[in-house]
């Protein structure tokens, strides 16, 4: 009998969606458990699985894994389906570089500043902070420029082979472009815009769109 696969996370989390995209790409059936990491208290049983209180965590039988990069690597290695990690040295390296750029420099300005303050907070009836949006847009430029170079070089983000780099970037850009200013900024980067046009049509990306919450807080 197959071991159960459970993704524990928050529907509106960009990292949760990254994990979901990789599971969809591999054709893995999974259950979900909703954990809101922004709630006043995160359940103790979840903290035992993720000591930093972030989401998501993937459980496969008794094997738990947290950190979305590791979840993607596990998903690729543990399940049948198309490979999400390239084999050649250059593409493998560019994949790691892309994901690291997104996590280290991209998530905060693109998601926590631009998307959260321009789109998410207003959707739940909270005021966004204009200075957060402006600072996020400014910081996003360097990130998009770096990703543009990687997309133009095309070892990854190449509109042909869907890898963990695509899994990681698509949910971030999907949120960023919901802000009109984010959409405008992205259009300055030709290779990245072409990539997004392609990636946004991918079934795994479309099927994992969480939409926007109603009367929720972030
Ligand atoms: N390094 C973590 C980052 C995950 C992360 O930051 N998730 C966000 C939601 S998108 C979170 O749980 N935030 C809760 C908080 O900041 O307290 C990973 O790769 O899984």
Q: How many Å lie between the centroid of ligand 1 and the Cα of residue 117?
A: 17
Query: Where in the sequence of the chain do the CATH 3.40.30.10 domains occur?
Result: 5-78
Candidate of 49, 51, 55, 208 to mutate for ligand 1, largest count of ligand atoms within 8 Å of Cβ: 55
Query: Where in the sequence of the chain do the CATH 1.20.1050.10 domains occur?
Result: 89-207
Which among 96, 68, 87, 38 has a CA at the least distance from the CA of 171?
68
Q: How far is CA 204 from the centre of its chain?
A: 12
The answer to whether the pTM exceeds 0.95 is yes
Q: Closest residue (by CA) to atom 12 of ligand 1?
A: 54
Candidate of 37, 65, 102, 208 to mutate for ligand 1, largest count of ligand atoms within 8 Å of Cβ: 37
Contacts of 201 (CB under 8 A, 6+ apart): none
Q: Give the CATH fold of the 5-78 domain.
A: Glutaredoxin (3.40.30)
Q: Closest residue (by CA) to atom 1 of ligand 1?
A: 67
Per-residue pLDDT of the chain (218 residues; tens, 9 = 90+): 689 999 999 999 999 999 999 999 999 999 999 999 999 999 999 999 999 999 999 999 999 999 999 999 999 999 999 999 999 999 999 999 999 999 999 999 999 999 999 999 999 999 999 999 999 999 999 999 999 999 999 999 999 999 999 999 999 999 999 999 999 999 999 999 999 999 999 999 999 999 998 754 44
Domain 89-207 listed as CATH 3.30.70.980: no
- The CA radius of gyration of the chain, in Å to the nearest whole number, is 17
């Amino acid at each position: 009998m197959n071991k159960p696969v459970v993704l524990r996370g928050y529907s509106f989390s960009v990292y949760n969606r990254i994990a979901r995209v990789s599971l969809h790409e591999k054709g893995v059936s999974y259950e979900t458990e909703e954990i809101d990491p922004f709630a006043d208290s995160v359940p103790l049983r979840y903290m035992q699985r993720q000591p930093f209180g972030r989401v998501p965590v993937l459980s496969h039988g008794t094997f738990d894994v947290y950190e979305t990069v590791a979840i993607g690597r596990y998903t690729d290695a543990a399940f049948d389906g198309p490979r999400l990690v390239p084999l050649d040295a250059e593409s493998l390296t560019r994949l790691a570089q892309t994901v690291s750029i997104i996590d280290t420099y991209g998530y905060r300005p693109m998601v926590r500043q631009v998307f959260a303050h321009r789109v998410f907070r207003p959707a739940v009836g909270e005021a966004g902070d204009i200075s957060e949006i402006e600072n996020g847009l400014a910081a996003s430029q360097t990130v998009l420029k770096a990703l543009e170079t990687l997309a133009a070089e095309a070892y990854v983000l190449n509109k042909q082979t869907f890898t963990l780099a695509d899994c990681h970037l698509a949910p971030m850009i999907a949120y960023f472009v919901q802000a009109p200013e984010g959409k405008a900024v992205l259009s300055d980067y030709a290779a990245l815009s072409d990539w997004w046009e392609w990636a946004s049509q991918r079934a795994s990306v479309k099927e994992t769109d969480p939409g926007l919450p109603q009367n929720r807080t972030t």
